[in-house]
Structure 1
Amino acid sequence: MSQEKLEQMGDRLKQIIERFDETGRNHYMLRNFDDYLFTRRHLDRLITMVDLLLPHCGKDTRMADLGSNIIFPYLVKLQSDLQSCDGIARTLKQSERFIFREDGTTSIQPFRYPYTEPEEESGITVPLIHCDLSKDKLHYEDDSLDVLTCYETLEHLRFDPMNLMEEANRVLKPGGLFMLTTPNANSISNLKRMVHFESPNFYPPYIRNMDCIEHVKEYSIKEIRVLFESAGFEIETLETFNHVVTEDFNHYEAYQIDYIDTNDNSLRELREQDKKLERGLLNLLEQEDPSSSRYRGDYILVFARKASKVKDRYCFPIYERFAL
């Protein structure tokens, strides 16, 4: 997809969100979405994922998105003519049916899966199905889906990440595509944080009033390989990429710098020092091993195909070798 097309998609999404009615603005999955996507600069990443996925979306494609956000299945439906695209999330007490109308209004109704009643309203309908991906079975038959996507969700699972991988294997058809992104524990950003005696995590803070930390575990490149291969997937693409950086927001800086109290001169000086540190670290890595500077982006991106049944349900080192 051309850069112009990507920008048009972003502008369209902004317009739609600006026109959300009270139903959409006040819903758990959509409220504060403007801040999440635009102030925190996640929109570019989201649209890039749509762009990478679209070549795999034909008329007969059945897919589901595991935990990314209700907006992602909406964008996929907006840009393709695939047969079905559901959202899966544990954030709701019951499954719901979202209707995004052209005029920006929304309709949100409870429903039972599978939904078989005829469409009654015009617009793009996205079923959002309640499911705890670290515990529950997915609401699909064996070998029934062509594509699964899972963006920035794996790191939030509190109990059993192989439950997600095992269920992905079960519901995908042989050769079915599993596309996943997750923060990279081996990133150059994390190495820089360690040099500064900071937490080597992409998202380290606790959430006020929730008594929890959002990123339960951030995965290394080796751990991602182990997860996919143990779950019976053959990896086609394994690479890393960086968060979009703008003048007013840099995710690496977000938990190191208080933008309100930082003036332009001090911020410029901090960024110059940071670039120098990054160059030094990359040079050191390449001296030790020319290949060790690979896979240092902020995010891990995986394209994998279902190749066999699950090989190792409790794979080491994701799990202890012994049961307590």
Structure 2
Amino acid sequence: METKKINCQNCEEPFDEGFKFCPNCGQKTNEELTIGVLFYNTISNYFSFDARFLKSFIPLMFRPGYLAKRFLAGKRLLYLHPAQMYLFVSVIFFFLFSFVVAEWKKEANAINKKIVESEVVEQLPDEAQKQFDSIQKAKVLESLKKNKALLGMTDEDLKKTDSIIQLQNGNNLKTSWDFNKKKVDSLIDAGADDAIIYKEMGMSNDAGFFEKRIYAGFLNLMKGSGAGSVIQRSVDAVPIAMFILLPLFALLLKLFYFKRGRYSHHLVFSFYFFSFLFTLFSLLLCIDLFIVPIPGWISWLLILSTFFYFYVALLNFYRRNWFFTFVKCSIITFVFMLMVIPTTGVLLALFGIMNG
């Protein structure tokens, strides 16, 4: 008796009726699309949240270098794929990090509001005006110093800002930040050219690059481009930065372990190492946000411990002398941190951060 043939709904290849799974592509036959099936397929296909993740979690956290070694040894279905692991934990991290960013944006917007809503005191006696200016300058500088991380300012930027604000009658700057705010607001509402508004705000005719940046930043704040948007754009640049930095990290490993396999081998190691970092940071955020606040010294201690995790992972993965591995680990870490700074700077510039 001839067996009835049916076609697979996925690959459309024929197979004998009675099979629970297609012999050609492996898809389950006659599976009803329920909410449960839809949810499981979404998680399974895009994040591979299955037994392999649970099986990979313990060695990822407590056996440095083990997963990368096993993956290269051919155990590629037993544990979660390195790229899938990285994708999954990075999504979790940035989701949790968004709660922290929301607080940063709130603080930055509070600073923005203080700047925009500050009223100008006019027609004061000279001595009173000078005293008022002095107090206002001190408030501005103190606010900038406390929130320099939120505003993306370096110590050098603060020093230059300090020197600019403290100038009273120098050639570089003709304002003490007591410009007529109502007039500036009316110029903004009228759509006046930025150059005209800068002049009304007191920018000197021969303003240098940094002075122009200061005025551009203040003008953007007055136009409603809140400091919170600056924070958001900075955070938006982080995933792209990691997308660039991870392959560069693998390239560093290739340079220091040139004879220890192809570039793809070092890339596997990098995926698992960065997955560990994101997992650790996600756990810290989860505890700090939803369970109990973590003291700063404990957070820093755990973050510093990642260096020793990296060292042990190199020892286990590359099987080299402990002393030379420690030297290479230190150099790779140092060089990579140097790479982070220019990469982040370029991305922030592309996102419009450096120009306010």
TM-score, normalised by the number of residues in structure 1: 0.27
Structure of higher RCO (CA pairs closer than 8 Å, 6+ residues apart)? 2
**Which is greater in Rg?**
2
TM-score, normalised by the number of residues in structure 2: 0.26
More helix by share: 2
